Amino acid sequence: PLVMILNGPNLNLLGTREPAIYGHDTLNAIAARSATHADTLGLTLEFRQSNHEGVLVDWMHEARARGAKALILNAGAYTHTSVALHDAIKAIELPVIELHLSNPHTREPFRHESYIGRAAKGVIAGFGAAGYLLALDAVARL
């Protein structure tokens, strides 16, 4: 079964971006660990990142067209702003797992609203890079 992990804006800077909040792992390191873990779970993983909202929407449509089992989405700041990503989740009719390295509820008030969470099947947040592996475990159990 195919699973896509999509990462939104600024996540390409992981490793150097506010490490006290997001940790020291690079996105490439997380991608490699996720690929290994997906293998052990019998899942085929595609791991991508874009800073562009519309590209993320296109990839979500692609996930549906290719019959993905589920989508794991760390939408970055678009989590808190994007009706388009919310609507894409509704449109593709795939289980979407909202993912965050940090726990947005412990942070600024503008991070407390999630347009993703209103449409997602479930949420994993606050466990740092390990959250990517936890999200894959969740997909395997769907």
Residues that bind ligand DQA (CB under 6 A): 10, 74, 76-77, 79, 100-102, 104, 111
CA distance 102 to 56: 21
Beta carbon of residue 114, minimum distance to ligand DQA (angstroms, whole number): 9
Beta carbon of residue 23, minimum distance to ligand DQA (angstroms, whole number): 10
Task: Say whether 82 sits in a helix, a strand or coil.
Answer: coil
Identify the CA nearest to 96 among candidates 104, 86, 105, 84.
86
Is 102 labelled as part of a ligand binding site? yes
Beta carbon of residue 136, minimum distance to ligand DQA (angstroms, whole number): 16
Is 25 labelled as part of a ligand binding site? no
Q: Measuring CA to CA, how many Å separate 108 from each of 64, 68, 113, 132, 140? A: 33, 34, 10, 23, 32
Is 51 labelled as part of a ligand binding site? no
Which of 1/80 has CB closer to ligand DQA? 80
Which of 50/74 has CB closer to ligand DQA? 74
Is 87 labelled as part of a ligand binding site? yes
CA distance 52 to 110: 20
Q: Is the dihedral of CA 18, 136, 114, 55 positive or negative?
A: positive
Which of 62/81 has CB closer to ligand DQA? 81
Q: Which residues are catalytic?
A: 22, 100
From first CA to last CA, the distance across the chain in angstroms is 12
Annotated binding site: 74, 80, 87, 101-102, 111
Annotated binding site for substrate: 74, 80, 87, 101-102, 111
